[in-house]
Amino acid sequence: MANKVSAKTKRFDYVDIARFYGIFLVYYGHVVERFMYLKIEAAALQYKYIYSFHMVLFFFLSGMVISEKTLKLSFVGFIKKKFKTRVIPYLFFNFILLVLSLFLQRDFPPFPLETVQDYFRTIGFTLIGVSIFNIPTWFIMALFAVELIHYFLNRFYKDGFRNKFFFIILFYFAGYYLNLNIQFISFEKIIGINYYLFHEAIIMFSFYLIGSSAIKCNHIKDLNFNKSLIYSLLGVLVIYFTYNLNQGPFRYLDAVVILLSGHGHIFWFPFTAIAGCMTIIYLARASISLKFFSFLGKNIITVYCFNGIFYHSFNGPFAVYMSNVMPMNYFNLTFVSTVFSILTMGLSIPFIFLFNKYCPQLIGKK
């Protein structure tokens, strides 16, 4: 029994570490995004590289830690649990940004928050899952939609990979063509066809199922440090040589942007995305001893949602300032973006302890 518990703990430690690497890429990607808007070519390349897989990674990792106990709940019990662990944190972190918007100048994205009508409009968008107060939190509601699909369908594929593979292919192609031909995202009107990112959940459900299969793979479980490191380095190269083969069609930006349902090429999108997911998994396996990374990964909701503060108010001014004081070549861009990402992530750490101690129910922990 002790060996089984130890193996399970180790397994989820590396998933938590992978989450940490993913959240760092979120912080970093949101910084280089602002440099990209300043027409810095190196930033556009880094943005496309990171976005080719980093949000798919979170759905993949969520699939790796599916709770069989939760799937056995009644539908009402399931909804209650997900309301506590998904909807409440989503509303809580959007409320925080709503309050901060009264005091902090928001420079991105350019949605007006100047009148009472603006606030009512933005609250309306937030309630349907388009989280304008704290845009990074869109993932929470998209994950809830994916989990809801899985709750209803898992009985059809829980006993074998063959059935699961059928659903992976079905939902990928169905979701791809649905989002390719219908524009679901609309920031013009609240009443439309975009609710809780269900349109995007259809395609992300495929990656969620792939993650649920990957956790059972002995190839991953049995990796030692040397092999994990070699595979992760090879994975970085695979992403590098394939991410720019995806030439669209995209939406709004020349890159994969899951929130905007911009996936690009029907083959290169999933190929690079899965390569990226596995690369992060290998890297996490190589760094399984880094307990602090695991700690941050276990508190991903707080760290992830905290990014909204910088995304909306600080990343832009930082990018403008740094662009004015030094040339933004590839090295300088990487250095300043890395430092700023680490510093801003670090600022979330006191709030992890604060929320865990005084209001765990607001971050989905009770």
The residues pairing with 257 across neighbouring beta strands, listed in sequence order, are 262
Choice among 23-37, 102-116, 281-295 with the minimum mean pLDDT: 102-116
What does the alpha-carbon distance between residue 156 and residue 149 come to, in Å, rounded to a whole number?
12
Question: Nearest-CA neighbor of 23 among 348, 314, 268?
Answer: 348
Torsions phi, psi for 32 (to 5 deg) = -65, -25
pLDDT number for residue 107: 86
pLDDT in tens, 163-212: 999 999 999 999 999 999 988 877 776 666 678 899 999 999 999 999 99
Dig out the tokens for 256 from the structure: 């994969």
What does the alpha-carbon distance between residue 113 and residue 117 come to, in Å, rounded to a whole number?
9
pLDDT number for residue 271: 98
- Asked if residue 108 has pLDDT above 90, the reply is no
Q: In the 8-state DSSP scheme, what is residue 233?
A: H
Q: Would you place residue 158 in the very low, low, confident or very high pLDDT band (cuts 50, 70, 90)?
A: confident
Choice among 120-134, 239-253, 269-283, 323-337 with the minimum mean pLDDT: 120-134
DSSP assignment of 150-207 = HHHHGGGTTT-HHHHHHHHHHHHHHHHHHHHH-----SS-SSSS-STTHHHHHHHHHH
Average pLDDT over the chain, rounded to an integer: 92
> What's the predicted TM-score (pTM) here?
0.94
Q: Would you place residue 161 in the very low, low, confident or very high pLDDT band (cuts 50, 70, 90)?
A: confident
Residue range 286-301: mean pLDDT, rounded:
95
pLDDT in tens, 3-34: 444 444 455 789 999 999 999 999 999 999 99
Question: Nearest-CA neighbor of 305 among 113, 134, 127?
Answer: 134
